[in-house]
Chain A
């Protein structure tokens, strides 16, 4: 561990590599986390199947490579099909639990996560997969830092997609309805907004965003049927740290998480990379609690 830290101080150029990799991956985390923040803020549903949606999206790209189609082209079918899938999930499961207490929706989506994981495992097998994009890998800074084109491209796609979604929420009719529903569902209903449709659309949009981010993840990283849980936890870490409806916060937190994971993976060893996410979650929760305690007056 100390050796690795020494490496970072002696050769600062490694830091550049870690930070760049972290930012590229973190941008994709931001996308999935934004989807969660949307569902959480609008419907008050904690979707634990978030990571599984991401992994499902990833398998679109994987299937595309099996047919020798460029995985980037899988973005569109992944977005569309995951949108439909999200809509169906909403109609079958989430609409039944949305009025109930929070744990119900959490557990229902956890059951859904189990089903998706295992279905993917049955169809694709438990091997770790990656979708080869076949793009060039460049080296910068005297060959010490490698940057593959696909990572840069996925970063750009992330930014474009996030921008498109923000514009959509801000300016489209449906986006206005979503914002109105998130502020006050009852008033929105009185004003003639079909909140049921808004909820279905929000959930479907979230699934679609996750699908798209999954395609990107599968190209720059790896996918495996059971890698969804860390993705769900990452999304929760980011949203909990940033707070709901705080888009800049979500982006910063996600990029930070990406970098933190790269660092812990390098310094402590790859086996700690997943534990880092979980420990960060606990730290974020503790920090939130500390903040709450400052304003809370305790009886005892």
Chain B
């Protein structure tokens, strides 16, 4: 068994057993899986394809809202449900209504997000580099504002999602395993994807888009599919997160551009972008440090986050995994050819 497979087994074992080993931290560990999913999906564009999006969080929020509307809409009129008169309806879901709604919602959310990603691709993939980053940041901010002004989905007041029919402990474990499955399937899918020709095409786009296109690569199509992949998994994570918190509203929960939206970038950069394990590692480090220190920082946590991003970008751009790969290349299966060593170190640093 290779080293990587030991890691896989360790992760699966931890993931499956964690709710029984650390019953008090189920929510935090569920968030860890969502964070890993965030970092992995950001890295598909940011690391592998070189398109740094600051607004991927839009799929998270849209997925959350689609799921909520489907869940509510299959039983009640959404406009009535979100109006002040509908406040009493939150608990009025039969178990089978609840589960049908949840399953339909979790199916509809990624599909809606993929459609949105295709539409956004038409606009945004003509933009390169910083224009893409600013444009996506703009669209995520706009989405939050616009949803907040749309009364049908509750506007700024948000939607209270159907209440889980069962014990609170069962509910936590139920959503824990859904988060676990979504994060692991994201990992497995991306792992497979990066090994195919498609993964190579993404790397070619990152390295030199003009040349890739000149070589006959359909860059637009590849970029669109890559973004759809991100959107698909982010949509699922949004649907799950909305149900985990039980209440969604546009600015803080669904489109948290300056929290989750930046966390995903920070995590991928911290771990080392453009690698498969880098985002996973970055997410674990970031989330652990955040959960341990966040409440003790007394308002300074955001300053610490900003400083972390600056330090990370300015002084430590290759991330933990990139640094490790420079330090011990043989562990990563990189054999250093002396005559090529200067160029290869440059390549890993970029």
Q: Which residues of A contact B (CB under 8 A)?
A: 46, 48, 93, 96-97, 100-104, 106-108, 110-115, 117-119, 121-122, 229, 233, 236, 240, 269, 271-272, 274-275, 278-279, 281-282, 285-286, 289, 292-293, 299-300
Contacts and interface: CB of A to CB of B under 8 A. Distances in A.
Contacts of B218: 300
B135 A281 contact: yes
A97 B311 CA distance: 11
B212 to A, nearest CB: 10
A245 B68 CA distance: 48
A278 B313 contact: no
A114 B127 contact: no
A128 to B, nearest CB: 16
Contact of A274 (B123, B135, B145): B145
B21 interface: no
Contacts of A102: 129-130
Contact of A293 (B126, B145, B305, B350): B126
Nearest to A122: B299
A108 B314 contact: yes
Contact of A282 (B133, B142, B213, B220): B142
Contact of A114 (B54, B123, B299, B305): B305
Contacts of A274: 141, 145
Nearest to B148: A271
Interface string B294-324: 0000011011011111100111010000000
Contact of A285 (B123, B142, B216): B123
A96 B146 contact: no
14 contacts: A106-B52, A111-B307, A114-B305, A115-B303, A118-B300, A118-B303, A119-B303, A121-B302, A236-B134, A271-B148, A275-B149, A281-B135, A282-B138, A285-B131
Interface of B: 52, 54, 123-124, 126-127, 129-131, 133-135, 137-139, 141-142, 145-146, 148-149, 156, 213-214, 216, 218, 220-221, 258, 262, 265, 269, 299-300, 302-303, 305-310, 313-315, 317, 350
A90 to B, nearest CB: 12
A115 B303 CA distance: 5
Given A114-B305, A118-B306, A272-B145, A106 B130 contact: yes
Contacts of A108: 309-310, 313-314
Contacts of B146: 275
Given A107-B52, A274-B141, A281-B134, 9 more contacts: A96-B314, A104-B313, A106-B52, A106-B133, A108-B309, A108-B314, A118-B300, A272-B145, A289-B127
A287 to B, nearest CB: 11
B15 to A, nearest CB: 31
B306 A278 contact: no
Nearest to B218: A300
Nearest to B266: A111
A111 B310 contact: yes
Given A122-B299, A122-B300, A299-B216, A107 B309 contact: yes
A226 to B, nearest CB: 8
A292 B126 CA distance: 9
Contact of B149 (A114, A269, A282, A289): A269
Contact of B139 (A104, A112, A272, A278): A278
Contacts of A122: 299-300, 303
A114 B302 contact: yes
Given A278-B139, A289-B126, A111 B148 contact: no
Contact of A107 (B124, B135, B300, B313): B313
B75 to A, nearest CB: 30
Contact of A281 (B138, B149, B214, B307): B138
